[in-house]
């Protein structure tokens, strides 16, 4: 049985841990609010980009572009958006597990795919599995701007345009609520379709200047890059939601443990007092 001193030490250390997890929970909640606002604000721009690309895809024009053309798949590219920090529950583990399960079902060897990874956790896990990482980016800010990922996004799109990939997917955690994140695979390239009910009902008309062909060359790469950035913003909101939930659960568990330890401490102290009284009474009786 643990001594009173050991129990008291465990109570104090658990209280300190609870202070840390509560602080991390509050910080994550604050970051989540900012991440949600950033994702919602960017969605206005992303929706307009989808509308333009949808119009181009449905216009029936003869303008062609490598990003609009499906070709035989010899090699596939995957972009994994993970986190740089842990303490977020199963945020990274479930994402990596589902992606690797899908990759193993699609490909017979590592020569058939390559991975671009954002986030230290995902990078380290993939390296430990000897996966073919061709590009990586770590230490992204909590509130990333497009400039932070512009080079990686542009390189990824250029790899498809140059024929290094025949298709490109992005894997990330889609934010549903602070307690719920859904592992999502989104096909980025080729842009064979733009599915959106609101866009199908859109009656907007566009006139292109200087020409539709020139507009396609400029808009399509930017649109593909915007999809990557939009997925990153969504993933950041999911990360902070997962971390806030994990730290809340850790704080609750710490409080429960403190209650149990306090009960054990009081019982042990009561037993010690009872024993001392018994010894005193027994000693007094022996002197009579």
More confident residue, 215 or 233: 233
2 has a pLDDT exceeding 60: yes
More confident residue, 119 or 283: 119
pLDDT tens profile 120-132: 999 999 999 999 9
Taking residues 15-31, report their average pLDDT.
95
Taking residues 191-195, report their average pLDDT.
60
263 has a pLDDT exceeding 90: yes
pTM: 0.85
% of the chain surpassing 90 pLDDT: 57
Distances (CA, A) of 261 to 8, 11, 14: 8, 6, 10
Q: In the prediction, which pLDDT does 197 show?
A: 43
250 has a pLDDT exceeding 80: yes
pLDDT band at 32 (very low <50, low <70, confident <90, very high): very high
- Render 79-95 in DSSP notation, one character per residue: EEE--SS--STTHHHHH
Least confident window among 14-28, 124-138, 235-249, 263-277: 263-277
User: What backbone torsions phi and psi does residue 138 show, to the nearest 5 degrees?
Assistant: -125, 175
15 contact partners, CB below 8 Å, separation of at least 6? 254, 258
Q: In the prediction, which pLDDT does 118 show?
A: 96
What distance in Å separates the CA atoms of residue 159 and residue 200, rounded to the nearest whole number?
Answer: 30
Domain extent listing, the chain = 24-246
Asked if 247 contacts 25 with a C-beta cutoff of 8 angstroms, the reply is yes
- Token pair belonging to 288: 């009579």
Q: Where are the alpha helices (DSSP H) in the chain?
A: 4-58, 91-106, 120-128, 146-161, 197-200, 212-287
- Token pair belonging to 119: 């986030």
Mean pLDDT, rounded, of the chain: 86
Give the strand pairing for 180-189 and 167-177.
antiparallel
pLDDT band at 284 (very low <50, low <70, confident <90, very high): low
Class of CATH domain 24-246: alpha beta
């Amino acid at each position: 049985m643990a001594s009173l001193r050991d129990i008291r030490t465990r109570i104090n250390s658990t209280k300190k841990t609870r202070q840390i997890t509560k602080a991390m929970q509050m910080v994550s909640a604050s970051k989540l609010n900012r991440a949600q606002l950033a994702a919602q604000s960017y969605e206005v721009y992303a929706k307009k980009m989808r509308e333009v690309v949808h119009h181009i895809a449905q216009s029936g024009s003869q303008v062609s572009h490598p990003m609009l053309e499906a070709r035989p798949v010899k090699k596939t590219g995957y972009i994994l958006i993970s986190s740089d920090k842990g303490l977020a529950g199963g945020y990274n583990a479930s994402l990596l597990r589902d992606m690797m399960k899908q990759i193993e079902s699609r490909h017979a060897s590592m020569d058939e795919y390559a991975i671009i990874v954002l986030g230290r956790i995902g990078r380290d896990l993939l390296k430990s599995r000897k996966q073919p990482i061709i590009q990586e980016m770590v230490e992204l800010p909590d509130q990333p701007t497009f400039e932070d990922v512009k080079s990686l996004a542009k390189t990824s799109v250029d790899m498809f345009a140059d024929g290094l990939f025949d298709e490109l997917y992005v894997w990330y955690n889609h934010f549903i609520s602070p307690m719920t994140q859904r592992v999502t695979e989104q096909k980025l390239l080729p842009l064979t379709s733009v599915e959106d009910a609101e866009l199908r009902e859109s009656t907007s008309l566009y006139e292109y200047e200087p020409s539709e062909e020139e507009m396609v060359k400029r808009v399509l790469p930017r649109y593909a890059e915007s999809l990557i950035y939009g997925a990153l913003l969504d993933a950041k909101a999911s990360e902070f939601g997962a971390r806030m939930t994990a730290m809340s659960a850790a704080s609750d568990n710490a409080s429960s443990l403190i209650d149990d330890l306090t009960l054990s401490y009081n019982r042990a102290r009561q037993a010690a007092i009872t024993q001392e009284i018994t010894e005193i009474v027994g000693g007094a009786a022996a002197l009579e």
